[in-house]
Amino acid sequence: MVSVTVCVRFRPLSLSEKRLHGDSICIQALNTQSFTFKDEKEEDITFCFDRVFYQDSEQVEVYDFLAMPIIEGAVNAINGTIIAYGQTGAGKTYSMEGLGVLDGDRNKKGLLPRIVDGIFEFLQSLVEMTKWTVKLSMVEIYMDKIRDLFDLSKDNIQIKENKCQGIFLLGATEIPITNSTEALRCLCHGIANRAVEMNLASSRSHCVYIFSVQQESRTDGRSKTGKIVLVDLAGSEKADRTGAGGIVLEEAKSINKSLSALGNVINALTAGKVNHIPYRDSKLTRILQDALGGNSRTALLCCCSPSPSNVSESLSTLRAKLLKSLPRANMSDAKDNMEQIIDCESLDYKSERLLEKLRQNLNEEDVDMLDELLTVAGIFFDPQSTEEIESAIEDVTIRTISALHQAVEDLKDRNDMLMMENHTLKADLSAARLALNNANTVPNASLFGKARELLITYLPSFNFPPRR
């Protein structure tokens, strides 16, 4: 298993932070991989990461360390994902886009425009016998709904999965791009459609950029496909700090819910063997399923403020857990392509046809729930690799053992209950015998009747002689 690359980037202090605390900061650099952090109790905590980018770091440094390996992997048919995470105003969007994807300042260019240039530089260096195609999709997750930023009429895109494509967005616009200029213009159009907060400096939606790179040999027809997914997560901000209300408060709740789901998935993946990874708890984690422990190389860029006024938020960001991801190449022979397409289309067609019939009689939420249950139950399960089959078998084994343990516990509880009932019956029987003995020595009609009643109740086979 390959560890996800986890980096931290501290932005320079803002003017408002300088007014509050001057040039004071809550971190002390040790080296390029570790630093000490002073928490709210003025205690020093040491953190170590794959790389730490301090306040004076340049955009190109982040690109060279974080993105270059992802691009090389994608060209070699290994999916790559970069996730920018952190509180509102911590520098995520600047790290991703720079001052703007079309901005001419080369030193300020963010990951997004640099990756676009990098993809085409790699592809243009390939031999002439290779034919390549690049497609771009761009969506945002707003209030837990996925909408297409290239076609705003598609405001509720569904997430699907099959063995050929893995996780994909059904019906999302894919724009073929042939050069960097064309790609950046498309990205600029999509960014303009993105929902933006009141302060115009931070997004209130998660933004997902998907580059699909397909290569095909002109000689033997072999093809390979790699994806690069960039995710600019919405900032998490406590409602009591922002004073948000109304629709803004609802947006904040939705953002924090999806980020919480992301944290739960990461915690489940890092906890070792668990019965269930809650990828389906949010649209965000479902889209990132391939990245979080799936078929992808993943890099996490944690963006933080070094100011003492943001200690709690920065500390929460820094405690993002490490996770594992096992990349594999997405390659196929020409003779296998048609079979795979037919298999995928057949599986998708059958499941979609069944669900469409159900939609005619049920509401959308019920059908989505049924789709999820069928997939979890394995009815729509279609393993993509030996690892998935082994994982599925292990999961079933763990669930079976868990069910057996529960059955044993239930039997123990039932046994304890029966023992208590048996003890009570023995006590009542002893009382009945005592009453019978007293009746034989003391002529007490009521006592004799009571003893006879108890014996008839607990000893139905006892032939008690009638009273004379």
* pTM for this prediction: 0.68
Select from 352, 340, 341 the least CA-distant residue to 380. 352
pLDDT at 117: 94
Single-letter amino acid, residue 171: G
d(CA 468, CA 457): 21
- Whether residue 243 is annotated as binding a ligand: the answer is no
Residue 130 neighbours by CB under 8 Å, 6+ apart:
215, 216, 217, 218
142 Rama class: left (phi>0) / alpha (psi -120 to 50) / beta: beta
Tens of pLDDT along the chain (468 residues) come to 455 788 999 999 999 899 988 899 999 999 999 999 988 888 889 999 999 999 999 999 999 999 999 999 888 888 888 999 888 889 998 999 998 888 878 889 999 999 999 999 988 887 777 889 999 999 999 888 899 999 999 989 999 888 777 788 999 999 999 999 999 999 999 988 876 543 344 467 889 999 999 998 888 888 888 889 999 988 765 555 555 556 777 877 888 888 888 878 877 776 666 678 888 889 998 988 877 766 678 888 999 999 998 888 888 888 765 555 667 677 665 555 444 434 444 444 456 556 666 666 666 666 666 665 555 444 444 444 455 455 555 555 665 666 676 677 778 878 878 888 888 888 888 888 887 777 665 555 555 566 666 666 655 554 555 555
- Whether residue 214 is annotated as binding a ligand: the answer is no
pLDDT at 89: 85
For every residue of 333-371, which 3-state class applies, written as one string?
CHHHHHHHHHHHHHHHHHHHHHHHHHHCCCCHHHHHHHH
- Whether residue 135 is annotated as binding a ligand: the answer is no
Residue 303 has what DSSP assignment? Answer: E
- Whether residue 90 is annotated as binding a ligand: the answer is yes
Instruction: Quickly list DSSP for 126-156.
Output: S-TTEEEEEEEEEEEEETTEEEESS-TT--S
Select from 210, 188, 32, 209 the least CA-distant residue to 99. 188
User: Coil, strand, or helix at residue 91?
Assistant: coil
- Whether residue 263 is annotated as binding a ligand: the answer is no
Select from 42, 32, 11, 33 the least CA-distant residue to 311. 42
Q: Which two tokens stand for residue 180?
A: 């960097």
Residue 258 neighbours by CB under 8 Å, 6+ apart:
141, 144, 206, 234, 282, 283, 284, 285
In the CATH scheme, what is the homologous superfamily, with its name and number, of domain 5-319?
Kinesin motor domain (3.40.850.10)
pLDDT at 10: 95
pLDDT at 467: 54
Instruction: Give exposure, 333-365, as e/b (b: 16+ Cβ within 10 Å).
Output: eeeeeeeeeeeeeebbeebeebbeeeeeeeeee
- Whether residue 93 is annotated as binding a ligand: the answer is yes
- Whether residue 88 is annotated as binding a ligand: the answer is yes
Counting beta carbons within 10 angstroms of the beta carbon of residue 106, is it exposed (0 to 12), middle (13 to 18) or buried (19 or more)? exposed
Tell me the C-alpha to C-alpha distance, in Å, between residue 28 and each of 99, 103, 303, 311, 392.
28, 33, 16, 14, 45
Contact (Cβ atoms closer than 8 angstroms) between residue 309 and residue 255: no
pLDDT at 142: 86
Single-letter amino acid, residue 128: E
Residue 187 neighbours by CB under 8 Å, 6+ apart:
101, 112, 113, 116, 136, 138, 209
Contact (Cβ atoms closer than 8 angstroms) between residue 450 and residue 435: yes
Counting beta carbons within 10 angstroms of the beta carbon of residue 204, is it exposed (0 to 12), middle (13 to 18) or buried (19 or more)? buried
User: Coil, strand, or helix at residue 400?
Assistant: helix
Select from 243, 299, 353 the least CA-distant residue to 69. 299
Q: What is the CA radius of gyration of the chain?
A: 32
pLDDT at 341: 39
Instruction: Quickly list DSSP for 158-190.
Output: EEEEETTTEEEEET---EEE-SHHHHHHHHHHH
Q: Which two tokens stand for residue 28?
A: 């002390």
pLDDT at 201: 40
Single-letter amino acid, residue 138: M
d(CA 347, CA 354): 11
Contact (Cβ atoms closer than 8 angstroms) between residue 158 and residue 170: yes
- Whether residue 321 is annotated as binding a ligand: the answer is no
88 Rama class: left (phi>0) / alpha (psi -120 to 50) / beta: beta
d(CA 415, CA 125): 74
Q: Which residues pair with 224 in a beta bridge?
A: 215, 331
